[in-house]
Structures are given as structure tokens and as C-alpha cells.
Amino acid sequence: MARIANRADEQTRRGKFRKGGLRFEIKPWKDTEILWERCVPADPGSGVPEPENPGETPHHIHRTGEIVPVKMTDYGIFAATEKSDVPYAYLIDAAAPNAVSNLRTHGIVVEKLTQDTQLDLEQFVIGGAKLSEHAFQGHHEATLTGKWKKRGGKVAAGTFLVRMNQPLARLAFYLLEPRSDDGLFEWNFFDDSLEAEIAPVRRIMKPIAVDATIIK
């Protein structure tokens, strides 16, 4: 596994990670066979409660002690339903230090621009933002719609920079893309900016020299 991970990291450093998945669905991988204890319905007033399933009436079962093979489908594939191009680097507004702190906690290298810089960029124009009705792990997950559009302009000193020629580029991509189904936008790190027209994360598509220092 370590060798596989190292090869993937090396491919990323060489710029071979060009397109990544944003949103995924689970799909069947293969049929397999597992060992399972055979259980039968218990007589009234006997047996043990079967593990409850939401929406079902609990009932009692009798455990036979007989181990039998059971066929099942292994849903072990997460297939991308939406993809996006991988940029040379991401730019994050200086007003988003919590997002940057999360990236660094994950081990992602983050830099900061040392001077105002003229750059050709892509910015994500927000078409809409919807928060989930029910909380999950204390969060109302956010789903953004919108499009990346090209734009040139001056980027202020102090803006955060995440280059994609680092080992954790795949993770950085998944966390920073606005349409990601498990990224920082999804987990409310940028909620204060969702009413704006432009998302606080921009991207540089082509390699270019940028004067920046790594945050220690």
C-alpha cells in the first residue's frame, strides 16, 4: 500500500493529476460470500431483539449457532458523477483563515503571497447555495451551483496560495473545489461568503512564477 501511495504522490508532483472527481455515487464492485450465523424468528416471549432498522418494527429472533455462507454484493466503488480540471494552484482570500487552518491540519502546504500580483485566474461565479434541512454531525451541509469563468486581475499580498505540485494535491483539490460533495464549502467553512457573487477560492490554471512564502 505504501508503494502504491508513493507512486500516486509522485504522479501528482509531476503534474499527471489533471482531472478529479467532485461528486460521487456508490456502485457495486463485486459479488462476494461471507460467513453469517443463521437466525430464525423466535416464538412470542423468547429470543433476542434483532438489531433495529429505521422505520421497521423490532422483532425477536433465535440464534441457531449455525454458521452458513451468505452471498452479498460489495458496494465498494465510489464513481464520479461530476469532474473538474485540476489547476496549477488555488488562491484563497485572506479573510478565510479557518479554512487555511483546516488545510494545514490535513498536512497540505499553504503559502502566502508576499506582494500584489497580476494573474490570469478562474473565479467561481456562484449560481446558488442550498443548506441541508437536517443537520449532520452538527453541520447543515452546503451545496453550491455555479461555473468557473476566466478573469484577469491583481491579487492582493496576503492571499493564500495552495500549489498542486505537492503530494496531497488530490486532497487539496477535493477540499477546495466549490462543487465538491465533501469539501470545505460543503462543511460550512465559507458560509459567510455564500451570498456573494464570487466564491472566495480562485484558481490559476497554468504554471506561473508566484512570489510567496510557506506558512510555518
Question: 3-state SS of 166-185?
Answer: CCCHHHHHHHHCCCCCCCCC
pLDDT of residue 120: 96
Q: What is the pTM of this model?
A: 0.81
Residue 170 pLDDT grade (very low, low, confident, very high; cuts 50, 70, 90): very high
pLDDT of residue 130: 93
* CA 108 and chain centroid, separation: 14
pLDDT of residue 58: 67
Mean pLDDT of all residues in 92-104: 97
Query: What residues contact 38, with CB distance under 8 A and at least 6 apart?
Result: 64, 66, 67, 68
b/e per residue, 46-59, with b = 16+ CB within 10 A?
ebeeeeeeeeeeee
Residue 189 pLDDT grade (very low, low, confident, very high; cuts 50, 70, 90): very high
Q: What is the dihedral of CA 107, 195, 137, 187, to 10 degrees?
A: -20
Mean pLDDT of all residues in 106-128: 97
Query: What residues contact 75, with CB distance under 8 A and at least 6 apart?
Result: 26, 27, 28, 29
What span, in angstroms and rounded, lies between the C-alpha atoms of 187 and 180?
A: 10
Residue 57 pLDDT grade (very low, low, confident, very high; cuts 50, 70, 90): low
Mean pLDDT of all residues in 17-34: 92
pLDDT at 13 over 80: no
